[in-house]
Amino acid sequence: MNDKSKKPQKLKARLPRGFVDRSAADIHATNEMTAKIREVYERYGFDPVETPLFEYTDALGKFLPDSDRPNEGVFSLQDDDDQWMSLRYDLTAPLARHVAENFNEIQLPFRTYRAGYVFRNEKPGPGRFRQFMQFDADTVGAPGVQADAEMCMMMADTMEALGIKRGDYVIRVNNRKVLDGVMEAIGLGGEDKAGQRLNVLRAIDKLDKFGPEGVRLLLGAGRKDESGDFTKGAGLGDDQITRLLSSYLGTSFRSGSAETTQKAEAAGEKSPIANIEGENTFPDDAMTFGFWRQATEGSSVGTEGVAELELMAGICRAAGYGPGRIFFDSSVVRGLEYYTGPVFEAELLFDVTNEKGEKVVFGSVGGGGRYDGLVSRFMGQPVPATGFSIGVSRLMTALKNLGKLGQDQVIAPVLVTVMDGDVDSMGRYQRFTQALRNEGIRAEMYQGNWKKFGNQLKYADRRGCPIAIIQGGDERAQGVVQLKDLIEGKRLSGEIEDNASWREARVAQETVPEADLVAKVKEILAAQAEDRKRAGNA
């Protein structure tokens, strides 16, 4: 068969797995949310900086090239000079590189924020994407934990600026040094116990999911779930488990319900925090830190960590941030290969309905901590740093659940229709359009096939345009334009049943002088806005 007779194969349009297209509504909602976050960060004295999507792979730190193609966790390619480059997996590692490369020009402490997409080369799944947006704030060059305290206060202010009321969120705080101290105090210090320490920390991280009883099993021999699957435990002895649960985890915000608290107390494990009848009750800071000093007894690093958190608590409380906003919580376990001091997490406490129709607590929408070693990798000298990262997509979902985002309808543009195609008429239509734009009104001149006028009104209807502006030869000769209120027209058309009534009503359409065009459009848009407001309050 002649090759010329073969039909070209049509390319299949397909979206890469783990990626999403974003609609105008999603983009407007994201912009609305990030503008509120940015305003808080700016108010705290942070300035923006931007780093590229690609970094040299060895600069990323967490995923280093250890094979011919370093694609474990990141998307990588080889440059023309044979160097490996990767799409950034977070915004912190690129900041560390930026600070190190520009260290002599940067004024320390360097207070900066960044928003942008990050990429993970991981298997996608429901709610798990390979590209997502983060919004970070960092302070580099501030060694004191007062910088960490300020970061937590800024996160609390950010939650409230987004419309999340007190009681619907909490900033939970812990310290890597306290976690290390607890491990050391129960006999899990040293490199030979690194694997067991990791299993203990993984068990602690499951406190919100399984409660104290489930964590007790995971700290010991292991836990069997409802399906019969068995998860091997950390293998701790009874004394080690009791010390962890009573002296350390007993103060956790996750210590569970009144029932689980009673069980713990019956077993001789005092828990100073409980969730009774749906209300969160918090221990005072002195009680929490007393328990933690007991849990880290004999560990100098643990004692240092508790002292740092006590200072943070003093600063937060003096500034008016109580435990209902910033809570010191033993169950916070974050990126332990990353953080060197305080760690914190922003958690939303209200219920949402998941895909199975179950009521679940929304959970974490961001976190961070002190990472004094990250910039130092490039410098050969200590460079202290602390920061916080918000998961924009997850937080946006939460705000939509609360009805705090995307409620402001994006108004489609006013449509200037085209009745004649000569140069003079086209110029006049474009002049109307520019006059509206110059007054801050969204407007567009129809750019399709103008000879089929009915299609223009169909376009306006599909587009959701609030007003159509019409000027044919007769109107042009009189120096007037017709304004068609398309929103009111839709409403009235449902109330008018026969053609005679329609012709008599001249639905929501009036003729005005060209000079009054902009003023009349503003008047109609204002009336439509008032109607929307009344409908929203009804």
What's the pLDDT score for residue 272? 38
Q: Select, from the ranges 164-168, 212-216, 395-399, 444-448, the one with the highest average predicted confidence (pLDDT).
A: 444-448
Instruction: Tell me the per-residue pLDDT of 158-187, one tens digit each, with 9 for 90 and over.
Output: 999 999 999 899 999 999 999 888 888 888
pLDDT at residue 339 above 80? yes
Cα Rg of the chain (Å, integer): 30
- Please answer whether residues 528 and 405 qualify as being in contact, where contact means their C-beta atoms are separated by less than 8 angstroms: no
Predicted confidence band of residue 368 (pLDDT cuts 50, 70, 90)? very high
**Alpha-carbon gap, residue 91 to 135, rounded angstroms:** 8
Residues 422-444 have a mean pLDDT of 95
For residue 456, the Cα-to-chain-centroid distance in whole angstroms is: 39
pLDDT of residue 80 exceeding 50: yes
Is 503 a residue whose pLDDT tops 70? no
pLDDT the model gives residue 354:
57
pLDDT at 58: 86
Check residue 129 and give its pLDDT: 87
| Bridge partner list, 342 | 175
Lowest mean pLDDT among 94-103, 181-190, 284-293, 497-506: 497-506
User: What is the pLDDT confidence band of residue 33, given thresholds at 50, 70 and 90?
Assistant: very high
- Which residues have CB under 8 Å from 530's CB, separation 6+? none
Confidence of residue 102 (pLDDT cuts 50, 70, 90): very high
Partners of 390 in the β-ladder: 135, 366
Question: What pTM does this model have?
Answer: 0.80
199-244 pLDDT, tens digit each: 888 888 787 778 788 888 888 888 888 887 888 888 888 888 887 7
Q: How far apart are CA 396 and CA 128, in angstroms?
A: 15
- The reported pLDDT for the residue numbered 71 is 58
Q: Confidence class of residue 141 from pLDDT cuts 50, 70 and 90?
A: very high
Burial 289-324 (b: 16+ CB within 10 A, else e): bbbbbebbeebebbbbbbbbbbbbbebbeeeebebe
Burial of 269 (0-12, 13-18, 19+ CB in 10 A): buried
Q: What is the pLDDT of residue 271?
A: 38
Q: Is the pLDDT of residue 150 over 50?
A: yes
Residue 130: DSSP 8-state: S
pLDDT of 357 above 60: yes
